[in-house]
Amino acid sequence: MNAPDNKRRALLAAAGAGAVAIAPGIHLIQASLADEAGTKLASSKVRWGMLIDTTKCTSDCKECVSACNAENGIVEEVADPRQRSQWIRKIDLVEKRTGRQHSLPMMCQHCANPPCVDVCPTGASFKRADGIVLVDRHICIGCRYCMMACPYKARSFVHEPLTTQNPEMPRGIGCVEACTFCVQRIDRGQKPACQEACPQGAIVFGDLNDDNSDIAKRLKEVASTQVRAELKLDTGVRYQGI
């Protein structure tokens, strides 16, 4: 699963400064593994993913958003709504020609080839061995280049000082943040909060690499879509019904 990513990175790095560039990438993955010591180590045999059935998702339901905010301590009230953090949001869509309506949750798509990781100057944006794309809040300098690069507008910048963080999910002023697939829950063997909260059961979460997982079976049965598939980012989040 990681092979195309490595090739692409090597090519970009060679264009920039030669093959030496691969070293920091390896270092980052090792660092993230070390960070997990004591709990469950992220494994490259796993690729976490999500399938969202938009035909079950209704416009007025925002349970996934509330659950995400509660789980990750996103409770601050920034005066300008455009400056508020939104790790997951509900998007209402109307097909221009037919008027057909859809509603779906949008969040970090946990790409196999994430543009945010490519552009991050310090390596704060990184992809864990199990495919989860994260921001290391210790080395994020708040340049927002990843927000320019994300094709899904999935990242938020913390515009104000925070005092109400959830100890399990470090957040802070001046850093960029996004959906983590509730990494703290995954490492405990649980599923993301949004998946558990969805009253319609529209979200399936699991290991894309495991043929016996619910998500892998469903993806074999139903037609699914990667948003902005033409960018070939190989997203971990797939949609059904759009």
Partner 1 sequence: MDYAASRSAQTKFYLLAGLGALVSAIGVGAALYMEHHGHAVTGMNNQVVWGLPHVFAIFLVVAASGVLNVASIGSVFGKTVYKTRGMLAGLLCFAMLAAGLVVILLDLGRADRIMVAATHVNLTSVFGWNMILYPGMFGIVVVYLWTLMEKRMYPFSKPAGFAAFIWRLLLTTGTGSIFGFLVARQAYQSAVIAPMFIIMSFAWGMAVFMIVQKAMYLWNGMSLHPQIRARLKNLLAVFVGAVFYFVAVYHLTNAYFAKQVEFERFILLDGGIFPLLFWGGWLFVGTILPLILIFAPGLANKAGSVTLASLLVIVGAFCQLYVFIIGGEVFPLDIFPGMTASSSFFDGRIDQYSPSLPEFLLGMGGIGIAFTMVVVGVRVLKFLPEDNIAKLEAAGALAD
For the bound state, the minimum distance from the C-beta of residue 197 to partner 1, rounded and expressed in Å, comes to: 17
Residue choice 6, 12, 199, 200 for contact with partner 1 (CB under 8 A): 12
242 binds partner 1 (CB under 8 A): yes
Q: Distance of CA 207 to CAs 8, 178, 211, Å?
A: 24, 20, 8
Q: Could you tell me the smallest distance in angstroms from the CB atom of residue 101 to partner 1?
A: 9
- DSSP bridge pairs for 53: 240
3-state class (DSSP) for residue 156: strand
**For partner 1, which is the closer residue by CB, 13 or 216?**
13
Question: Does 175 engage in binding with partner 1 (CB under 8 A)?
Answer: yes
Q: Report the amino acid identity of residue 154.
A: A
Q: Does 9 bind partner 1 (CB under 8 A)?
A: yes
Looking at residues 38 to 97 of the shown chain, list those that interact with partner 1 (rule: CB under 8 A).
78-86, 89-97
73: helix, strand or coil: coil
Please give the Cα distance from 204 to 52 (Å, whole number).
Answer: 6
Q: What are the residues facing 106 on neighbouring strands?
A: 89
Q: Looking at 56, 102, 191, 218, which residue binds partner 1 (CB under 8 A)?
A: 102
CB of 166 to partner 1, least distance (A): 19
| Residue closer to partner 1 (CB basis): 103 or 195 | 103
**Interacting stretch for partner 1, rule CB under 8 A, among 48-56, 189-197, 211-219, 226-234?**
226-234
| Contact letters for partner 1, residues 20-39 (x by CB under 8 A) | xx--xx--------------
**Residue whose structure tokens are 């850093």:** 175
Question: CA Rg, the chain, in Å?
Answer: 18
Rounded distance between C-alpha atoms, residue 211 and residue 206, angstroms:
10
Retrieve residue 160's tokens. 């104000």
Comparing CB distances to partner 1, the nearer of 144 and 188 is 144
120-149: contacts with partner 1 (CB under 8 A): 120-124, 139-145, 147-149
CA 115/CA 127 separation, integer angstroms: 11
> Distance between CA atoms of 175 and 19, rounded to whole angstroms?
29
Please give the single-letter amino acid code of residue 185: R
Residues near partner 1 (CB under 8 A) are 9, 12-13, 16-17, 20-21, 24-25, 78-86, 89-97, 102, 106, 115, 117-124, 139-145, 147-153, 155-161, 173-176, 227-228, 231, 242
